[in-house]
Each structure stands twice: as structure tokens, then as C-alpha cells.
Amino acid sequence: MERNYRLVVFDWDGTLMDSAGAIVACMQAAARDLGLEPPDDTTARQVIGLGLRDALSRALPGAPASEHNRIAERYRHHYLSQDHELSLFAGAYELVAELREVGFLLGVATGKSRLGLNRALDSTGLADFFHATRCADECNSKPAPDMLFELMYELDAEPERTLMIGDTTHDLQMARNAGVRSLGVGFGAHSREELAREDPLALFDRLSDLREWLRQHG
């Protein structure tokens, strides 16, 4: 039986990797390093998934543009000092491995930098499972559709047979802007209620439920 979808694209932080809390803490630490008022947890979580410069400028709207580079540098300092301690969500490795084994094309569309994603792929052992990946320093930031457009072009996948999976409204809005259907996971950066307003095909609180949905409907 032909599958409904040919290409499955994952966001990374908050979808496959349990890193949203660390990202929030690093944004706050970067602000404090420069004597700025750090964003609260809710504000910081709202910008997860965007490219770093875009995320920091939204999380710290009062910071002068002249400080943006220094804030980004301090964020990277804090994040890179601990990213080796971060781990995948339970079941994430097995989910990706199963999808690859049964023949799906797999991609990543992430707000991480290329250097950051490569480090994460290598440390988690997932590098060989993905056919193509796109990062925020290679494309326009979410919710622009560019990452998905490029992945679909590279892997010769039609929008109607592509599925985006993410934990933020930025992910689901990117999918809609690219003419792609989406699934949301409610254990990452944005709340289930926020994700539901973007009209994904389904929402999941556990990766095991996502895995079962893909087995039945993918």
C-alpha cells in the first residue's frame, strides 16, 4: 500500500531533543552577562525555533542593535558549554530509526545553526538517518517556508506528501506557508493550546503516540 506521506520533516529542539529549558536558561544568562533584564520563561519559550538573532531580538526588544552580536556570542558560550549534556526525548531515536527503516525520506528544519545541528546529530547518533537538513543560518527563519521548499526540492517530494512535525507555532506556520500538513507535539516550547490554534492534523503529548499515528496514517 502506498504511504500517505513520502517525506517527514522534524524540528529539532523541543521536538526530538529535550532542550527547550536549556535554551531559555541560556537566553537569560546571556542577558544577565550584559547587564540586561532577562526575559521571563514564557517570553523566552515563545521565540524558540526562530533563528538565533531573530529570537534574541524578540526576547530582548529593549536591547540596542549594537548589542545583538554580543548577546548572541554570550548565548552561544552558555549553550555550547552544556549542549553535550542534553539528550533526546525518550523514544526519539527509536522513532527516527523506524521511519528510516520502513522507507520514509527524513529531514530536519531547525532554528539551530549548521554547526549546532551537526554537533547535535553527531552526539545523538542520528546523523546517518536523515536524508537532508536545513538550518536557520542557511535559509530565512521560520515561519518563512524556505526550509521546507528547499528540502522538498532536494528530495523530490511534493507538498501534499510531506509532513512537518514540530513543537512551536513557528513550525506549524512554516508548514502552512509551504502548503504542507503538520503534526504538533505538546511537550516542547509552546503549549498545546497555542499549537491547536494552528490546526495541525493531530497533537501528541507523548512520542509513543506520535509513533503509533505515523504507523497508522503515515
| Predicted local confidence at residue 83, as pLDDT | 79
SS3 for 214?
A: helix
CA 184, CA 129: separation in Å to the nearest integer? 21
Using one digit for the tens of pLDDT, what is the confidence trace for 165-210? 999 999 999 999 999 999 999 999 999 999 999 999 999 999 999 9
Using one digit for the tens of pLDDT, what is the confidence trace for 155-164? 999 999 999 9
Residue 1 in this model has a pLDDT that exceeds 70: no
| Predicted local confidence at residue 51, as pLDDT | 86
Reported as a pLDDT band with limits 50, 70 and 90, residue 37 is: very high
The residues with which 9 forms a beta bridge, in sequence order, are 107, 164
Q: Could you tell me the domains of the chain?
A: 7-19+88-217 (3.40.50.1000), 20-84 (1.10.150)
CA 7, CA 175: separation in Å to the nearest integer? 13
Point out the residues that are catalytic: 11, 13
Q: Cβ distance 183 to 204 under 8 Å?
A: yes
Tell whether pTM > 0.85.
yes
Residue whose cell numbers read 538517518: 129
SS3 for 67?
A: helix
